[in-house]
Amino acid sequence: MELSLAGRRALVTGAGKGIGRSTVQALHAAGAQVVAVSRTQADLDSLVRECPGVEPVCVDLGDWEATDRALGGVGPVDLLVNNAAVALLQPFLEVTKEACDTSFDVNLRAVIQVSQIVARGLIARGAPGSIVNVSSQASQRALTNHSVYCSTKGALDMLTKVMALELGPHQIRVNALNPTVVMTPMGQANWSDPQKAKTMLDRIPLGKFAEVENVVDTILFLLSDRSSMTTGSTVPVDGGFLAT
């Protein structure tokens, strides 16, 4: 399926590692011009070496003022992937103010801020666009010790719908992607215990976790005009987890 992403300018947050890094690599390979946002300079340096022409931006998206300075003049962006997120796991009775603030600042508030910057630019140019918010199956199912993380992702799903509602008249589509556990280096490390993995795999009809390319392929589809009639959706990439 030809996605026709060549010549488009895309911005990807959380671009240093995992899903974000693989998304940048795939967009670059498809001929898109990519702005890669990460808080870790070393990750950006190695990414630029791998993908010459990628534009690196190093900023902590949890800092509103720094983000405004870093991205306020980013220029025209056609496609946005809001991927940056933190997962601070605590039992409910031990949830801290710091975990709440950091999680909502990065997982929700930064999505609002970066999306505002991109959407205002699209509207000013009279250009159509596509925004993909990387959510999680945890937005729709309760997981032990994930009270804050589940809450941020549940909020992100609803934000996606309201953004789609308000930005649709400007021909800006907004969708969320809801993966299960993904076999990034972090996912492999966090789910390497066979007993822990079994408790989750037993709830997934396909009996396996997602590979990074499963997620990236869906992101690229949602960014492309091949999904031109899809907006306000939460798209599971979960092996059937949310069907159970």
17 is catalytic: no
Which of 17, 97, 153, 208 is catalytic? The answer is 153
Which of 17, 97, 149, 208 is catalytic? The answer is 149
Distance CA 63, CA 77 (A): 21
161 is catalytic: no
Catalytic annotation, residues: 149, 153
